[in-house]
Amino acid sequence: MATYRLISSDSHVYEPEDLWTSRMPAQFQDRAPRLISREDGDWWYCDGRKVTGTAAGSQTGRRFEEPEALSRTDRFTHIRLGGYLPDERMKDMDLDGVAAEVVYPTVGFVLYNVVRDGELLSACFRAYNDWIAEFCHAYPQRLKGVALINLDNVQEGIEELQRARRLGLAGALIPAYPWLERPYSGAEYLPFWAAAQDEPSGTRPAPRVPECGHVIPGISDQYGSLGAYVAGRHDLCRGLRALSALKGRHRRTGTLLDSALLGPPRLHLHAAGPPRLLASLSGRGTAE
């Protein structure tokens, strides 16, 4: 039995197959993300466009035990129940010796690069944020959820950021890069950075660490300072460098760049991909 406490700063849920079809508003039901079974596996589609397959969540441990059996396609029935059921998640975490996790989406953030309609994308993200909040609420001391935010409309992004905080989510994902013609250095985003950095007195920023370090107060309260410091490196953290042009333009932007995730009441941002800049160049995905 391990004597140390392990906290994962980069775990993922796997969205249940009815997440969007059961939660999206009526006007988006026909275009909502859904699983479609094909001969080669189960695939997520949204608005008539292929999003991703199910291989990412169905091959747990296979690359270590049977690397020759890895596949780009699979079936949803092979997804571990812990991917979307909180009680089963606790069993998996206990099996792995994980005390607490910051959980990110699997299918959800691929929508950044596939969904062309901003209103549809925002509706997809609101449905996901509702679900992940419920998922984490089952074990709030062990699960810290991260919201998905669409910044096509900055004011709507601010409102969803604030709603995510009220839902109890610990962080928020934004594209690693925005649309090519709307860089993060633009003044239109300043209200969003201000909203993200809105904090009550007494809440301190996270310390700066190389690449991407996370300090999660909600977990710190239970597990202490050693367990609370999570040194997580992730390629997508590089997207935060795109915000460096903002330094000096907003008095708190430096704090945003210094920290990726903290728990409520302070909500922090983490850059997510695929980068929206590539979406600008490619037309945001391909239809199939």
Between 278 and 3, the higher pLDDT residue: 3
Q: Which pLDDT band holds residue 181 (cuts at 50, 70, 90)?
A: confident
- Report the distance separating Cα 125 and Cα 111, nearest Å: 9
Task: Name every residue whose Cβ is closer than 8 Å to that of residue 81 and which is 6 or more positions away in sequence.
Answer: 88
Q: Cα 119 from chain centroid?
A: 19
The C-alpha angle with vertex 215 and arms to 186 and 219, in degrees rounded to 5, equals: 130
What pLDDT does residue 285 have? 35
Cis peptide before 265 (omega within 30 of 0): yes
Between 122 and 218, the higher pLDDT residue: 122
What pLDDT does residue 269 have? 57
- Report the distance separating Cα 73 and Cα 276, nearest Å: 25
Using an 8 Å Cβ cutoff, are 93 and 84 in contact? no
- Report the distance separating Cα 262 and Cα 247, nearest Å: 21
pLDDT at 216 over 60: no
3-state secondary structure (DSSP) of residue 148: strand
Digit-coded pLDDT (tens) for 44-89: 999 999 998 887 777 777 767 777 777 777 888 888 999 999 999 9
What pLDDT does residue 275 have? 41
What pLDDT does residue 210 have? 30
What pLDDT does residue 278 have? 34
Percentage, residues of the chain above pLDDT 90: 43
Residue type, 213: G
Q: What is the DSSP string of 30-94?
A: GGS-EEEEETTEEEEEETTEEEEESHHHH-TTHHHH-GGG--S---GGGS-GGGT-HHHHHHHHH
Q: Residue 266 burial (CB < 10 Å; 0-12/13-18/19+)?
A: buried
What pLDDT does residue 68 have? 75
Average pLDDT, whole number, for the chain?
73
Average pLDDT over every residue of 9-31: 95
Q: Which pLDDT band holds residue 149 (cuts at 50, 70, 90)?
A: very high
Sheet holding 41-46, edge to edge: 34-38, 41-46, 49-53
Give, to the nearest 10 degrees, the angle between helix 118-137 and helix 86-96: 70
pLDDT at 37 over 50: yes
Digit-coded pLDDT (tens) for 232-278: 334 344 444 444 444 433 333 333 332 333 333 334 455 554 444 33
Residue bearing tokens 């302070």: 266
Residue 284, Ramachandran bin (φ over 0: left; ψ between -120 and 50: alpha; else beta): left
Q: Residue 190 burial (CB < 10 Å; 0-12/13-18/19+)?
A: middle
Backbone angles phi, psi at 30, to 5 degrees: -70, -15
pLDDT at 167 over 90: yes
Digit-coded pLDDT (tens) for 100-139: 999 999 999 899 888 989 999 999 999 999 999 999 999 9
Cis peptide before 175 (omega within 30 of 0): no
pLDDT at 209 over 70: no
- Report the distance separating Cα 43 and Cα 56, nearest Å: 11
Q: Which pLDDT band holds residue 2 (cuts at 50, 70, 90)?
A: low
